[in-house]
Amino acid sequence: MISKKKAAIGAAILIVVTAIVSSFFAIQIDRYASFKNGTAVVPRKNFARMQDYGKLDAVRSILEGEYIEEPDNDKMLDGAIKGLVASLEDPYSYYFTQEEFRQFTERTQGSYAGVGMVVTVEQKDNTITVVRTFKGSPAAKAGIVAEDKIVKVSGEEVDGSMLDNAVAMMRGEPGSKVKVTINRNGELKEFELERAIVEIPDLEYRMLEDDIGYIWLYSFDENSAKNFENALNDMKKQGMKAFILDLRGNPGGLLSTCVDIADILLPEGLVVYRMDRSGNREDYKSDAKQLKLPMAVLVDENSASASEVLTGAIQDYGVATIIGKTTFGKGVVQDVRPFKDGSALKYTTSKYYTPKGRDINKKGLKPDIEVDMTDEAKNYLIKNPNNDLPLELDAPLLRAIEEVKHKKNSK
């Protein structure tokens, strides 16, 4: 069954002054004492940094001793670290508390307890925007649809800079409730959602007319490459003679999974490379084994990250026609650094480049053929949030079918 296309279409210091920063302060204070006694020379840059962090410690001490209520040291520390990372003004860099990191890691593991939405940051207005809801989830049942903008969670205003925090707030124990306020075309709507266990599918597939195989890949999760290969093999047995890959609404996921899938579709060569600020480069490659069928790839403005890596490589090699809308434009790489207490730091370390060296960050990838969802299709999904979009209303997919038919018949 072809699911909804457009709906496819996501702080001061303290004890870690003992754990993270504590040892740093101890060393710096010792160095400062040595400096005053004339027994050491502190480089000007390090001395300035020591003074800066000394101010942070001073603020902590003042709050601990004089604030009207006794502050929670752990919350102060978490807030300080979150503020430090937030100062980068990078929506992809984030400090996770222990609980937030636990929830974050659930995203690639097939199920979680929450409301069942994929969300992203809309760059032009820094809003948290719904990409899709999972069929049967609390969000889908309530009528939340793609392009709704989440403005409040549990009464707290949220925006794109708070994406991971907002996602964490919407998760929780099955049966518990959370209020989510969305902005839909200027009208605010509040939903009280009862959290539930949400199964996260990574793809769906089927045979279309004229022996055309179709896979809608939702995300690049732990098992997606294997599931992708199994789907292809099943459709080959059904006589697949052409192939359409749908990446609309796919927010990305694991780079390793993306490369594994690219290896199935591409000839031998470079899939993608990443480069850090020092110019260090890491290449990811495919082997010579390749799916050699007439192919089209569907993308939209919510196709991001790993979706763009795969699309960019396919486009550079010319093995498929890219159809849809210009992609999101997330061409940066994040690493995750876990800490012993269960917290973690996710931070941007490098950029992705396509095999031909294209930098897609904040630019996206332009399709070979531009096709958007019709207003009729969009209105249908708003009025029927729990129904599948009929094929006859899916203009991008219809155009892809037409394209691969032509390729197939021209062979």
Catalytic-residue membership of 305: yes
Helix or strand (DSSP H, E) at 340: none
Question: Which token pair is 258?
Answer: 């993306």
pLDDT score, position 47: 52
User: For residue 110, what pLDDT is reported?
Assistant: 57
Count of alpha carbons within 13 angstroms of residue 324, beta-carbon side: 29
pLDDT at 113: 80
Q: CA–CA separation, 347 vs 333, rounded Å? A: 8
Q: What is the pLDDT of residue 264?
A: 97
- For the domain spanning 203-333+347-410, the CATH number is 3.90.226.10
Half-sphere exposure of residue 51: CA atoms within 13 angstroms, side-chain side: 6
321-324 and 369-370: which strand pairing?
A: parallel
Below-50 pLDDT ranges, the chain: 1-43
Please write the tens of the pLDDT for every residue from 16-74: 333 333 333 333 333 333 333 333 444 455 555 656 678 888 888 999 999 999 999 88
The dihedrals phi and psi of 312, each to the nearest 5 degrees, come to -60, -40
- Strand-strand pairing, 212-217 and 242-246: parallel
Element (H, E) at 335: strand 332-338
Distance CA(265)–CA(113), nearest Å, equals 34
Q: At 52, which amino acid appears?
A: D
Tell me the whole-structure pTM to 2 decimals: 0.74
Please state, in angstroms and rounded to a whole number, the distance separating the CA atoms of residues 52 and 48.
6
Residue of 286, 303, 305, 343 marked active site: 305
Residue type present at position 267: P
Q: Judge contact between 258 and 356, C-beta under 8 A.
A: no
The pLDDT score that the predictor gives to residue 49 is 61
Which contacts of 290-294 are long-range, i.e. CB under 8 A and separated by 24 or more positions?
Answer: 290/264, 290/265, 290/266, 290/319, 291/232, 291/243, 291/264, 291/265, 293/213, 293/240, 293/241, 293/242, 293/243, 294/241, 294/242, 294/243, 294/404, 294/407, 294/408, 294/411
Selected catalytic residue, list 4, 82, 330, 405: 330
CATH classification number, 111-199, choose in 3.30.450.20, 2.30.42.10, 3.30.420.40, 3.40.50.360: 2.30.42.10
What are the counts of helices (DSSP H) followed by strands (DSSP E) for the chain?
12, 19
Catalytic residue among 57, 164, 263, 316: 316
Region of residue 383 (phi > 0: left; psi between -120 and 50: alpha; otherwise: beta): alpha
Beta bridge partners of 197: 113
pLDDT, residue 12, reads 32
The CA-based angle 89-91-95, given to 5 degrees, is 90
**Token pair listed for 83:** 């503020």
Say how far apart CA 112 and CA 98 lie, in whole Å. 16
Collapsed DSSP state (helix, strand, coil) of residue 177:
strand
Mention every residue, 6+ apart, whose C-beta is less than 8 A from residue 158: 128, 150, 151, 152, 165, 166, 169
387-402 residue pLDDT tens: 788 999 999 999 999 9
Q: What is the pLDDT of residue 409?
A: 86
How do strand 212-217 and strand 369-370 relate by DSSP bridges? unpaired
Domain spans of the chain, in order of start: 15-87, 111-199, 203-333+347-410
| Residue 332 φ then ψ, to 5° | -120, 155
